[in-house]
A and B are shown apart, each in its own frame.
Chain A
Amino acid sequence: MRWRPGPIFIILALATCIPLLDQILPVELQLSEAVRGVFLYAILALGLNVVTGYAGLLNLGIAAFMAIGAYTFGILTCEIYPFQLGFWSALGLTIPIGALAGFILGAPTLGLRGDYLAIVTLGFGEIVQDVLKNLDVVTKGTQGINPLPAPTFGGHEWTADDEYKWYYLLLALLVVTVIAIRNLERSRLGRAWFSIREDEIASRSMGIRVERIKMIAFATAAAIAAMAGGLSASILSSTGEPSNYDFQISILALCIVIVGGIGSIAGVLVGALVMVGLNSIVLVKATAWMAAHGIGSQGNVLLSPNNWKFLIFGLALVLAVRLKPSGLVPPRIERAPQ
């Protein structure tokens, strides 16, 4: 069979060129720092896509797992705690700990019907945030845990200035995530996820253990989100305050999945580009441009691009569901012959 590059391959190949492009572009137009954010949220949304896209379970608390990952990373690495692990071992540990958190939330709740499950995950997201904020003895409350180490590679420590190293590290981790999920998607497990999404009762009668399969989807999503959280904490060198992982982040991830194409990896990548692009490239650049041209936001709420964020997220969700329910890049569905 002749190998043809799929859309995912093309997107990721194009992504490698952006730092090179930045070399010739003027400073205001440079993109690689913002595109890092696209990669980070693409990883988070790929996690959400496993539980919401493949298994069909709406999770409104994915940011909570990101927070758990970030704080795990923080507690394992920061010098004020006894562990003081390095970047790689701590990042590696966020994955099983995230999965464990997913398991703890999933075990009692996966029997619930779809909309109730969505509310429970939303509630979980709020509880995690409140607990992180209020248990300030451990989590330093709103100060966040810092400073946190950057990755080391062959004895070299990466600082925040090494922008391109960060860029390629995130890209590499995104590629690893994509490959892992792509393999999962085509495995027995992936087919079981699709099957319970389409018809739970039929799957059960075909011998699929629905609860267990749902649980694995939940834990996988949580593990990936936790890894994204650990990465984000390391980039910022701080966990930030707990409200950095609020409902807005969960909704951003949901927007990415819904707008891009629910259940489609290429869709999630495109969705991340569109939504994060809007959120942290267009809005940020527009703010900078307006400040440079003396259009102050002073006194007028409409003139600050950041104030349009909720409206953009909301419209994205409403319009995507209404006009393009399968997203910008719909998944290729293999249907059984009729």
Chain B
Amino acid sequence: MLDLDVFLQQLITGLSNGMIIALIAIGYTMVYGIIELINFAHGDVFMLGAFLALTLVGALGIEAWGPSGQVAGVAVLLVGSALFCGSLNWSLDRCAYRSLRKSSKLSLLVSAIGCSFICMNLGLFWGGVPMEVFAGGNAAAAPKDFPALIPQVNLLGDGFLRITPADLLVWAVTIPLMIGLTIMVKRTRLGRAMRAVAQDPVAASLMGIPVDRVIGATFFIGGALGGFASVVYSLYNNTIGFQMGTRAGMDAFTAAVLGGIGSLPGAVLGGLTIGCVRAMSDQYLELRWTNTIVFCILVLILIFRPNGLLGATRREKV
């Protein structure tokens, strides 16, 4: 039997997690759109962003800032992680991908897998930093508790549904970012340059567009969105670990493919879908099958509709 309130509650959880997945998915889709690389390391950049946020919480003592100070603290975390993840993603492109632009797609992909492993290992080391927030760094590999700076109380009182300030935070951060990004891609000079490079890098460079710099900017923006997502994720789920990048990365990549890779609205639609599928599967199937279901969706979409729900039909170039 389907209880309506249970269903709606899972829907809310699913949509909130879905927005976070969507934010990560945009990072995949932007990079894929411009250089056709599945940036494997993106999920791990996201993970490192969460570790930076937790470090900042510990170093600045944000927990002791009082209720209104904590809101300011969250803003600090968002900006800090976004800058950090953006720079990290940019550096990956600069160090590991840029020199491979002319080699085969597969070597680029292999390089990205390598970066993902390196970042994951850095996350493991980071967990061993002797700080109080990392439990003294004693169990480096263990998941870390992220303090609930945004209280998880029900705003609807004793109503049958539960919406918390953390839910609102997710929406308040992700929606403006997505709108801003869409405007940036559609209206600004940089956005136009990005679309030009995505369409034809050679022609774009002949038109005087600094292709490498535009690609670098794309990596920075994609990474920064991952950074925002990492803070929101940590505040919403309250636990982080060095292996969470793989899981989040696969969900987000599935979302990007589901919506049609290269398409921004597609990434959002895909993210919301995957978030809801996960929530419903957790509730109505068994928790342990959820990952399998997401992977099955990914495989089936790739086989039967590789252009995704909103992707344009495009043949591979000869």
List the interface of chain A (C-beta within 8 A of B): 56, 58, 60, 108-109, 112-116, 118-120, 123-124, 126-127, 130-131, 133-134, 201, 247, 251, 254, 258, 299-302, 307-311, 313-318, 321-322, 325
Contacts and interface: CB of A to CB of B under 8 A. Distances in A.
Contact of A317 (B36, B111, B125, B288): B111
Interface string B99-125: 110010111011101111111111011
Interface stretch (B190-198, B275-283, B297-305): B297-305
A123 B298 contact: yes
B121 A130 contact: no
B140 to A, nearest CB: 4
Contact of A314 (B106, B116, B286, B303): B116
A302 B125 contact: yes
A112 B302 contact: yes
Contacts of A108: 303
A108 B305 CA distance: 12
Given A108-B303, A310-B120, A311-B118, 8 more contacts: A109-B302, A120-B303, A134-B289, A251-B113, A251-B117, A258-B110, A317-B113, A318-B118
A120 B318 contact: no
A137 to B, nearest CB: 14
B165 interface: no
Contacts of B298: 119-120, 123
A46 to B, nearest CB: 18
Contacts of B141: 301
B316 A113 contact: yes
B109 A299 contact: no
A317 B302 CA distance: 26
A300 B140 CA distance: 8
Interface in B245-277: 246, 250, 253, 257
B27 to A, nearest CB: 16
B25 to A, nearest CB: 14
Contact of A115 (B38, B99, B289): B38
Contacts of A300: 128, 137
23 contacts: A109-B299, A116-B302, A118-B38, A119-B257, A120-B303, A123-B250, A127-B296, A201-B318, A300-B128, A302-B128, A307-B125, A310-B117, A310-B118, A311-B118, A314-B115, A314-B116, A314-B120, A318-B114, A321-B110, A321-B111, A321-B114, A322-B99, A322-B100
Contact of A116 (B111, B291, B306): B306
B137 A299 contact: yes
B302 A120 contact: yes
B65 interface: no
A127 B295 contact: yes
- Main SS of the interface on chain B? helix
B106 A313 contact: no
Contacts of B313: none
A248 to B, nearest CB: 9
A168 B122 CA distance: 39
B114 A317 contact: yes
A247 B138 CA distance: 26
A79 B289 CA distance: 29
A313 B128 contact: no
B292 interface: yes
B127 interface: yes
B96 interface: yes
Interface of B: 36-38, 96, 99-100, 103, 105-107, 109-111, 113-122, 124-125, 127-128, 130, 136-138, 140-141, 246, 250, 253, 257, 286, 288-289, 291-292, 295-296, 298-299, 302-303, 306, 316, 318
Contacts of A311: 117-118, 121-122
Contacts of A112: 302-303, 306
Given A109-B302, A116-B302, A120-B303, A310 B124 contact: yes
A126 B295 contact: yes
B110 A254 contact: yes
B302 A307 contact: no
A316 B306 contact: no
Contacts of B96: 318, 322
A313 B114 contact: yes
Nearest to A250: B113
Given A113-B316, A119-B298, A307-B140, A317 B124 contact: no
A325 B110 CA distance: 11
B299 A127 contact: yes
A318 B106 CA distance: 12
Nearest to B111: A321
B248 to A, nearest CB: 14
B110 A314 contact: no
Contact of A109 (B99, B110, B303): B303
Most buried by B among A120, A126, A307, A318: A318
> Which 3 A-B residue pairs are closest in the complex by CB-CB distance?
A301-B128, A317-B114, A314-B117
A87 B76 CA distance: 62
A86 to B, nearest CB: 34
Contacts of A109: 299, 302-303
B216 to A, nearest CB: 18
A322 B111 contact: yes
A322 to B, nearest CB: 6
Contact of A315 (B118, B128, B140, B303): B118
B292 A318 contact: no
Contacts of A134: 286, 288-289, 292
A314 B295 contact: no
A123 B295 contact: yes
Contacts of A115: 36-38, 105-106, 109
Contacts of B318: 201
A73 B121 CA distance: 34
A116 B254 CA distance: 11
A307 B113 contact: no
Given A251-B113, A307-B121, A318-B118, A325 B103 contact: yes
